[in-house]
Amino acid sequence: MMLRPAVTVLMLIWLIGGHWVSNAQAKADREKLLSEPGVYGTFAVFALNNEEWAKQDPATRIVRLTSLKGVVEQHREHVAIDLYLLRGLSDQGDLLFRIHAAELRETQEFLLDLKSSQFGKHLKTVGIMHGLTKQPNYVPGFPDQMKADLETISEPGQKPYAIVIPIRKSAEWWGLDQEKRAAMMQEHTAATLPYVKTVKRKLYHSSGLDDPDFITYFETSRLEDFHSLVLSLEKVQEFRYVRRFGHPIILGTVKSLDEIVELLAQ
């Protein structure tokens, strides 16, 4: 039975405004998972079956999206979940989920529940990458001034764009001794310093967990600065040892769960 428009709107307001778990608990878990080493980071890209989704009436969409919100909020007590809209900027898919977890099986449980939900039945998995956060390998040996520069606080305000780039180094890179690699990574780091305030970066180690050696994650409000950053990095010696840069490069916008729900409900 079709719902009247007023009822549909009320259901949407309830869906967007509802709370499934304690915000304090979710926030506490998130801060820990995003700041500590030894945390697993997963990037899961999905495509929405747009033809099938377009056939759903507004009331049915709300029911499907209720299941999405329920699954996300249910698992946020144990994992940190960030959402991104890829549609319109990337041909890799429509949605990206970035999940941080102390145990990778917790991410697996979330993704299984997501795919088995009423909303998940409309999703096709495009790709999944896993990495692990670690203490910096080279930064402890950098000059004190460079260490201080790396601690520069980023500019205030939202950074709406997110970019994910997998990277694989050559066998020759891993064959170099630690001193040579450290010297090249110092040059690499120096090239990034002009963009510390406008481009946030997080590094994940993937060797043994996935095909790349690293997954690099960036947030920025200035894509021109990110473009310049990449051009600068392509000029340093270390880049000669990069065998895979991207493939794919994932570009999207940072969105809250409520924003994703509202967008897909239309």
Q: What average pLDDT does the segment 37-64 reach?
A: 95
Q: How would you write 125-158 as a 3-class SS string? A: EEEEEEEECCCCCCHHHCCHHHHHHHCCCCCCCC
Average pLDDT, the chain: 90
Round to whole Å and give the CA distance between 88 and 168. Answer: 27
Q: Is there a contact between 255 and 83 (Cβ–Cβ < 8 Å)?
A: yes
Q: Where are the domains of the chain?
A: 5-128+258-265, 139-251
Binned at pLDDT 50, 70 and 90, residue 17 comes out as low
> Has domain 5-128+258-265 been given CATH number 3.30.70.3420?
yes
Residue range 235-255, pLDDT digits in tens: 999 999 999 999 999 999 999
The per-residue pLDDT for 266 is: 85
Sorted by sequence, the CB contacts under 8 Å of residue 227 that are 6+ apart come out as none
Residue 46 has pLDDT above 50, yes or no: yes
Helix (H) or strand (E) holding 245: strand 242-245
Stated as kind and residue range, the H or E segment containing 5 is helix 5-17
Exposed/middle/buried for residue 79 (C-beta within 10 Å: 0-12, 13-18, 19+): buried
Report CA dihedral (114, 121, 251, 126) to the nearest 10 degrees. 100
Residue found under tokens 């996300």: 72
Q: Token pair of 40, please?
A: 């697993």
Query: Tell me: the pLDDT tens digits for 157-183?
Result: 889 999 999 999 999 999 999 999 999
96: enclosing H helix or E strand: strand 95-101
Helix 58-75 to helix 257-265 angle (10° resolution) is: 160
N-to-C CA span, the chain: 19
pLDDT at position 158 is: 84
Comparing 5-128+258-265 with 139-251, is the CATH topology the same? yes
Q: Could you give phi then psi for residue 37, rounded to 5 degrees?
A: -75, 170
Question: Domain 139-251 classified CATH 3.30.70.3420?
Answer: yes
Reported as a pLDDT band with limits 50, 70 and 90, residue 91 is very high
Quote the pLDDT of residue 20: 42
> Catalytic residue positions?
201
Q: How confident is the model at residue 4 (pLDDT cuts 50, 70, 90)?
A: very low
Continuous segment of H or E residues that includes residue 113: helix 104-116
| pLDDT digit string, tens, across residues 191-235 | 999 999 999 999 999 999 999 999 999 999 999 999 999 999 999
